[in-house]
């Protein structure tokens, strides 16, 4: 028995399902999860010492690779001064200043501990600011596991075939209005049906929780106009896209200014961090300036702050990283498309910047319904084929891949070569 299989059996005796985040259980692909012992650069190493080329990057934050030396050194240097104070630090100020320098349209920033917390807090703030309760989200977009967001949440819920989440109150669910991603007309109909009741529209500007799904040209500008016309707060969930697609995230990439923006993943360099920020007129309603309450003992944790600051500063000082990452991901997309064509397997490869996903279908994939209609069983076979060949993909057909800049073109050729050997 290999170590991962043994550890999974042991874990199930002590942890629900043997994992601390559901997708890790491999229920979406079958088999048992791989237990990771260490990671360096572009590679993961399991408990048996097998090396894998990592196409997940810890679901996004390891944009410069694992154990990135400047980040590791910064953590080590800070740790000797203590790991948590529960009091303000200069690091928090420096981090907020850096985020404001890099991201358009951010006047104030509040640090939190996760993307879930950031999105939950941003929605509460939007409700407090507008004095409305309902909000619109999109099918297949995942904004964390706060109750209000678990309606048609895509990602892990879709992987586990969970349609309705027990424990989410009916009143909470009733205030969550859902539309199809890229369907601007559907959004307008919801707004018209709930006139002056919608506090916010929250959207992944580039979806990453039903695979990588790009916004159609009219979609984000259309949302911005609808929000302006109806007094609705537009929230960009940039937990995945923030600092990954561009230094200023999707706002910079598409030239669209949201009212509030949520962050996570990259800003912690792999440590538990999130943040939300936006226009001063809205952010001033958060406590202690206003009455919308949000708090957290570990918010602005010094270890997380120094790690995130070090990574973001590197990205700011080396903007060519985004060009390099996009070129590598584009190279991989072309290689995969050619490989599937040669194999005679209908496949769509969606990509933007360093986000990419494979969908086994002959039709374009522009929303959750398109993604759900793909050949999931074929993805499961492809996943295990790649795993056996030392390629670590997301264990779900409903997740984006996230490449890191430690990957070499030789690594990408290895991924392409393994795909060319895929046998149905």
Residues marked as catalytic? 142, 237, 265
Taking the C-alpha atoms of residue 327 and residue 25, their distance in angstroms, rounded to an integer, is 32
Pairing of strands 348-352, 274-278: unpaired
| CA nearest neighbour of 138 among 60, 225, 236, 59 | 236
- Sequence-separated (6 or more) residues with CB below 8 Å from residue 414: 53, 390, 391
9-27 exposure pattern, b = at least 16 Cβ within 10 A, e = fewer: eebeeeeeebbeebbbbbb
Q: Which H or E run includes 138?
A: strand 134-138
Contact 312, 99 (CB under 8 A): yes
- Sequence-separated (6 or more) residues with CB below 8 Å from residue 311: 63, 64, 68, 70, 71, 266, 267, 269
Q: Which H or E run includes 134?
A: strand 134-138
Contact 1, 139 (CB under 8 A): no
Residues paired with 10 in a beta bridge = none
Contact 149, 119 (CB under 8 A): yes
Pairing of strands 51-54, 43-46: antiparallel
Taking the C-alpha atoms of residue 302 and residue 325, their distance in angstroms, rounded to an integer, is 29
Contact 70, 317 (CB under 8 A): no
**Per residue, what are the HEC states of 10-39?**
HHCCCCHHHCCCHHHHCCCCCCCCCCEEEE
- DSSP letter for 149, please: G
Instruction: Please report the DSSP string for 214-281 in residue order.
Output: PPPTTHHHHHHHHHHHHTPEEEEE-TTTBTTTBTTHHHHHHT---SEEEE-GGGGTTSS-EEEEE-HH
């Amino acid at each position: 028995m290999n170590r991962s299989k043994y550890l999974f059996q042991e874990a199930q005796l002590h942890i629900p399902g043997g994992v601390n985040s559901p997708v890790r259980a491999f229920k979406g692909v079958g088999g048992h999860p791989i237990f990771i012992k260490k990671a360096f650069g572009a590679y993961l190493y399991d408990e048996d010492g097998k090396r894998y080329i990592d196409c997940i990057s810890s679901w996004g934050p390891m944009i410069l690779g694992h154990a990135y030396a400047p980040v590791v050194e910064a953590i080590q240097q800070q740790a000797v001064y203590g790991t948590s104070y529960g009091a303000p630090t200069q690091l928090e100020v420096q981090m907020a200043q850096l985020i404001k320098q890099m991201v358009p349209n951010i006047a104030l920033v509040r640090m939190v501990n996760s993307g879930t917390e950031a999105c939950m807090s941003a929605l509460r703030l939007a409700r407090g600011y507008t004095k409305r309760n309902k909000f619109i989200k999109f099918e297949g977009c995942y904004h964390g596991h706060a109750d209000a967001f678990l309606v048609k949440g895509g990602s892990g819920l879709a992987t586990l075939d969970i349609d309705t989440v027990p424990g989410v109150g009916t009143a909470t669910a009733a205030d969550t209005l859902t539309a199809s991603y890229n369907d601007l007309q559907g959004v307008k109909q919801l707004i018209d049906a709930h006139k002056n009741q919608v506090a916010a529209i929250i959207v992944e500007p580039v979806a990453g929780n039903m695979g990588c799904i790009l916004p159609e040209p009219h979609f984000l500008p259309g949302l911005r106009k609808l929000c302006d016309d109806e007094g609705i707060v537009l929230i960009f969930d940039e937990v995945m896209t923030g600092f990954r697609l561009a230094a200023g995230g999707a706002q910079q990439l598409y030239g669209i200014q949201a009212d509030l923006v949520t962050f996570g993943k990259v800003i912690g360099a792999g440590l538990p961090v999130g943040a939300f920020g936006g226009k001063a007129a809205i952010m001033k309603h958060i406590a202690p300036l206003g009455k919308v309450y949000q708090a957290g003992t570990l918010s602005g944790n010094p270890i997380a702050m120094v790690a995130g600051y070090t990574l973001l500063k590197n990205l700011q000082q080396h903007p060519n990283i985004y060009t390099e990452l996009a070129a590598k991901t584009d190279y991989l997309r072309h290689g995969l498309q050619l490989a599937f064509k040669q194999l005679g397997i209908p496949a769509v490869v969606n990509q933007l910047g360093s986000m990419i996903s494979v969908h086994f279908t002959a039709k374009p994939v522009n929303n959750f319904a398109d993604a759900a209609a793909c050949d999931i069983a074929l993805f499961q076979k492809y996943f295990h084929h790649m795993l056996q060949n030392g390629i670590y993909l997301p264990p779900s057909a409903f997740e984006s891949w996230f490449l890191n800049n430690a990957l070499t073109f030789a690594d990408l050729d290895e991924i392409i070569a393994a795909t060319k050997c895929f046998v149905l």
